[in-house]
Amino acid sequence: SIEKYCRGFSGVTVAIPSRDMARLCERGWRELYGTRLTVKLYEEVEGKGMVQHMEVMSRADDFVPVGTDYVLHHDSDGIFNVPTTPEDLFRNDKPVYLYRTWESLTDKTGVVSDCAQWRQPTDAQLGFASEIYSMCVNTQMLPIEFYKLYRSLLAHVHGPDLLAYFLAGKNSFPQDRMDFTAMGAFAHKYMHGAFSWFDVESGAPHPPDRKRAYWSHGGLNPEIRA
């Protein structure tokens, strides 16, 4: 979908467990994508793939090419379905961040969205009460400076061994380690001026998602495959 719809990006970096490299080579990725795709390997701890990937995301600046200014995170269960350029993801020369309040996820009758369950683990990970729910999309542009600052906060809250912190988490759904919700809440509190913020609940226009989003825990059915 990136090959089909995305233009203007400097390249694609995919981080995968080392043990999966042989399978990737069998599929002939070099013949398909060549130098346009950079594969970075890491040693995945058995049975901890979900929570460990969140630690890998927090180190995106270690994986992308030197000189990268912005990183566009894109989950592997999303599919671009409209023409997309970097400019689509910026407003006023700043990356777009879509958000809503945590309170908007519940009402007097109870839960409006099951995403409300991520509030407590997000706050526990960050060490402060987050003000926003920021996973309205999971295709997010972040400046390269973000990652060091984000890791510094996590290290202050949980100690310097961040891999150990993430690996100690619950690997099955619902996880108690966070990626997009924590990253967005951190950005909102500590890097607010670096982004253009859009409250999706306000009724005002906001930039649309550029993809179809799916949910890996639900599996791959014939309708999704089609």
Residue of 88, 98, 89, 91 lying closest to 201 (CA atoms): 98
For 21-74, the pLDDT digits (tens) are: 887 777 667 666 666 788 899 999 999 999 999 999 999 999 999 999 999 999
Mean pLDDT, range 179-201, rounded to an integer: 97
Residue 105 bridge partners (DSSP): none
C-beta separation of 16 from 39 below 8 A? yes
Residue of 135, 130, 128, 133 lying closest to 104 (CA atoms): 133
As a whole number, the mean pLDDT across the chain is 91
At residue 35, the pLDDT reads 60
Angle at which helix 119-126 crosses helix 146-158, to 10 degrees, equals 90
Most confident of 16-20, 38-42, 146-150: 146-150
* Residue for token pair 């040693």: 43
Helix (H) or strand (E) holding 40: strand 37-42
pLDDT above 70 (res 158): yes
Residue 80 bridge partners (DSSP): 211
Residue of 128, 145, 141 lying closest to 189 (CA atoms): 128
At residue 146, the pLDDT reads 98
Residue of 178, 127, 189 lying closest to 156 (CA atoms): 127
pTM to 2 decimal places: 0.91
Give the whole-angstrom CA distance, residue 19 versus residue 103: 42
For 82-130, the pLDDT digits (tens) are: 999 999 999 999 999 999 999 988 876 666 678 889 999 999 999 999 9
pLDDT above 90 (res 151): yes
* Pairing, β 78-80 against β 196-199: unpaired
Residue of 147, 184, 152 lying closest to 56 (CA atoms): 147
Helix (H) or strand (E) holding 132: strand 132-133
Q: Which residue has the higher pLDDT, 164 or 217?
A: 164
At residue 111, the pLDDT reads 60
Q: CA neighbours within 13 Å on the CB side: how many for 178?
A: 26
Peptide bond into 174 cis (omega under 30): yes
At residue 148, the pLDDT reads 98
Residue of 1, 58, 13, 61 lying closest to 39 (CA atoms): 13
Mean pLDDT, range 6-29, rounded to an integer: 85
Share above pLDDT 90 across residues of the chain, in percent, rounded to a whole number: 68
C-beta separation of 156 from 127 below 8 A? yes
Say which amino acid occupies 163.
L
